[in-house]
Chains A and B, each alone.
Chain A
């Protein structure tokens, strides 16, 4: 069964990197993967998306993603003016980088919403609150288990090198553990 992921961010916040890491980890897990950004001329700070498809058979769909299984929101300010959960499947999941509780967000979706303060984790570990992508992946994996931690570690360490690889991996694990420790309610 193919799974479709949509990442919401602003250009420059590393959403393409998020998609690349997810695709590479899926590939490490022995799955087929397709990842691509919003097509067009992006400018720094402009709202954009990155997309990932993961499947057990070769992926032939080339069009954009309209009904995602999962939504990852890297920048909470995008929830103003943008329907980040548009088309999200009712049995899907939205993972949002914010300090707020899901109930405070007022998102119009039947899907499950999980929040993680990825900015705090990123600030703590990397000294920069905008490097949220790996923490967000950690929270996503803690709930869904779509990808193995081993493959994610390999994907992160091939994408980054040295200190950046270590700190990104640490941020992912930190968020993963935080969500796991919350128990079922997340």
Chain B
């Protein structure tokens, strides 16, 4: 039963994921919103424009003609010192691609909600994670949610993370499976969020009374500027972005812990672990699939298998050390990817393999590509895939080195 009393400092409501994201942005007191509607993200833009129109949110809602412009507006607003927010999906995110690089390269603390949707061709409006995975190398932090509570909580935390490490954050959640599914969500009080997330105070503001240049043509090597200061070359700036992402893990953990202390829902761990203590077979998944995996694992436990679930909350920076530690006792790791890096394997699988390289963990690894373009993934299917993987271990079938697909071919 839901203990409504435990939510005395919050209001529990039945919300879909899009509304949860919009409320998260509102509670974060975003000052500029620029977004272009696209299925299944559209209700986020509708809710935010309503909040602004009704005077519930003191922000500028800037209507734009494309996603590229939406992120250009947010980038400019952020350079001018505002806390900015945008949301998109699929082709919209693909269209933002250039500006994603600009935002991260400029080291702006933007937050973007990516409502995960498949990418054409052929046209498909349904869920998979190909859109955000395709933006893996743009320098954004990527956090994935398993339910609507995590969406709301993560948007709020994202601003604190971004404004600490000066790296933009993408909050990814599965289209329809979360965006259009209603479930109970505790909405924190504004005064508590204000305590957790103070007003944004940028270290540099683009101000007409104090003109500056941003993002000049930067040459390969460091160079002394007109004022005699030795400035970084392009490569040093790239190194600093990589270092910021590497170091952000500790900030993400700390912000998650602080959030937990204030709101009672801890995000200290970069991974979600379920029955991992004695598990020698581990299911790995990201997003809502990490929740379905818990149901699959329970089925397998009832059949006598010692299974556990490792849910990835953070994809960039990838929590390598945490993953390695969590998988230290595993004999078999079964990874479910809602994306495919064509010609190779699922993106999560590659990361897990890389994390285990050179370690003492010598687990067999199996990769399944599932749920592309909205194909439903049931707990039973996941459990059967795991069982099939176990059988192939004892039968001595070598690791194929490429993923298996759960589809009709």
Contact indicator per residue, chain B 110-150, by CB within 8 Å of chain A (1) or not (0): 00000000000000011100000000000000000000000
Determine whether A93 belongs to the interface, using a CB cutoff of 8 Å to chain B: no
Across the interface, name the chain B residue whose C-beta is closest to A38.
B176
**A23-40 contact mask (Cβ, 8 Å, vs B): 1 or 0:** 110010011111111011
Given A31-B1, A63-B379: A23 in contact with B182 (beta carbons within 8 A): yes
Tell me the total A-B contact number using a CB cutoff of 8 A.
Answer: 74
Q: Which of B52-60, B199-207, B241-249, B287-295 contacts A (4 or more CB under 8 A)?
A: B287-295
Beta-carbon contact of A41 and B125 below 8 Å: yes
Number of A interface residues at 8 Å Cβ cutoff, please give it.
24
Tell whether, in the assembled complex, residue B14 and residue A33 are in contact, meaning their CB atoms are under 8 Å apart. yes
Q: Mark B367-394, 1 if CB is under 8 A from A, else 0.
A: 0000000101111000000000000000
The 8 listed contacts between A and B (C-beta, < 8 Å) are A27-B2, A27-B14, A30-B1, A30-B4, A32-B2, A32-B183, A34-B182, A37-B180
Q: Is A60 an interface residue (CB 8 A)?
A: yes
The main secondary structure of chain A at its interface with chain B is loop
Once the chains bind, are B2 and A30 in contact (CB under 8 Å)? yes
The CA of A54 and the CA of B14, in the complex, are separated in Å by 12
* Shortest distance from the beta carbon of A86 to any chain B beta carbon, whole Å: 15
Question: What residues on A are CB-neighbors of B4 within 8 Å?
Answer: 30
Q: Are B176 and A36 in contact (CB under 8 A)?
A: yes
**B222 lies within 8 A of chain A by Cβ:** no
- Does A1 reach chain B (CB closer than 8 Å)? no
Chain A residue nearest in CB terms to B149: A58
Cα-based distance from A154 to B248 in the complex (angstroms): 45
* Chain A 8-31 residues near chain B, CB threshold 8 A: 19-20, 23-24, 27, 30-31
Q: What CA separation (Å) do A20 and B15 show in the bound complex? A: 10
Which residues of chain A in 32-72 are interfacial with respect to chain B, using CB atoms and an 8 Å cutoff? Answer: 32-37, 39-41, 56, 59-64, 66
* Binary flags per residue of B183-203, CB closer than 8 Å to A gives 1, else 0: 110000000000000000000
Q: Return the CB mask of B1-20 against A: 1 if under 8 Å, else 0.
A: 11010000000101000000
